[in-house]
Amino acid sequence: MQVYQITTTCANCRSENRVIIADENASASCQACGSQLLKAKRFAGVIYVMSNPKVQGVKVGMTSRNVFARAKQISGTGVPGDFSVLAAFPSNNPNKDERKVHEKLSRKRIGKEHFDLDPVTAIVRIRTILSKEWVFLDRKHERPVLERLTEQKENAQRRFAGGQSGAPQMDMFDAVGPNPCQPEAPSAQENAAELRPKSFLANLFS
C-alpha cells in the first residue's frame, strides 16, 4: 500500500491542512471548519490527449503511470518539440478504452496514435465516446471546451424542439384515405402485367 501526504488549503476557511491518503478511495475534511477538502479515487490508468507544436494534430493514447511523466518521456524520443498534456480521462480498463477511442476516431488517424483533430474537438469527442468527465483539463483549453459543449447542448435542444413543432400537419385527405381528386396509382400486379412481354398471339390482335 502506498501512503501519500498532501498539504492543501481549505477553500472555505483558508486554513492549511495536511492530509494522509492511504486507501484507494479516500476523502478528507478540514480540521478547522469540517468542509470537504478532497475526495480521492484510484483508477487503473488514463486516456490522454497531448499536443506538440511541431507535430500535426493531437496524440491520443493511454498510460497506467503519471501522465505528465509520460509526456516528458515521449518528448525525448527524437521527435522535435515537446508534448504537453491537454486532457486526461479516467479508465479502469485503459487498453480497452484506448482501442475504443482509436476505432471511433479512425477516419482522422494520421499515425499510430496521432489524429488530425484540433485539441477542442478531440477532447469533446473522447468525452462523448467514453461517457466520462476528464480528471485533468489544461486551463488554456478549459473555456473553449466548455463553450463547445454548451453549443452542442443548445443545438440538440433546438433540434428536439424543431422535431416536436415542425412535424408535418395531416392533410384533410390523410384521415379518410387517398385523395379522391387524383387517380389511383396502378397496383403492383398491373405494373407487372404492363412490363411483362406480350405473347405472339397477343401482338397479332392488339
pLDDT in tens, 117-155: 999 999 999 999 999 999 999 999 999 999 999 999 999
Q: Are residues 128 and 146 in the same domain?
A: yes
Say if residue 20 is in the same domain as residue 61.
no
Question: Per residue in 169-189, pLDDT tens?
Answer: 443 333 333 444 444 444 444
Let me know if residue 30 belongs to a domain.
yes
Q: Domain check: are 34 and 129 in the same one?
A: no
For the CA atoms of 201, 203, 204, 206, what is the dihedral angle to 10 degrees? Answer: 120
What does the alpha-carbon distance between residue 70 and residue 45 come to, in Å, rounded to a whole number? Answer: 12
Q: Does pTM surpass 0.85?
A: no
- The answer to the question of residue 132 being in a domain is yes
The reported pLDDT for the residue numbered 108 is: 95
Both 148 and 62 in one domain: the answer is yes
User: φ, ψ for residue 150 (rounded to 5)?
Assistant: -65, -40
Q: Give the pLDDT confidence score for residue 151 in this predicted structure.
A: 94
Residue 28: the pLDDT is 83
Does a structural domain hold residue 86?
Answer: yes
Query: Is there a contact between 6 and 26 (Cβ–Cβ < 8 Å)?
Result: no
Per residue in 79-129, pLDDT (tens digit) is 788 999 999 999 999 999 999 999 999 999 998 899 999 999 999 999 999
In this structure, the answer to whether residues 35 and 50 fall within a common structural domain is no
106 with 11, same domain? no
> What domain range includes position 14?
4-41
pLDDT at 19: 80
Domain assignment present for residue 162? The answer is no
Question: Does 10 have pLDDT greater than 80?
Answer: yes
193 located within any domain: no
Q: List pLDDT tens digits, range 34-68.
A: 888 877 777 899 999 999 998 899 999 999 988 99
Asked if 58 and 122 touch (Cβ cutoff 8 Å), the reply is: yes
Q: Would you say 115 and 57 are in contact if contact means Cβ atoms under 8 Å apart? A: yes
Q: What stretch of H or E contains 59?
A: strand 58-63
In single-letter form, the type of residue at position 135 comes to V
Q: Are 35 and 10 in contact (CB under 8 A)?
A: yes
The H or E element that residue 29 is part of is: strand 25-29
Q: How many domains does the chain have?
A: 2
Q: Same domain for 122 and 91?
A: yes
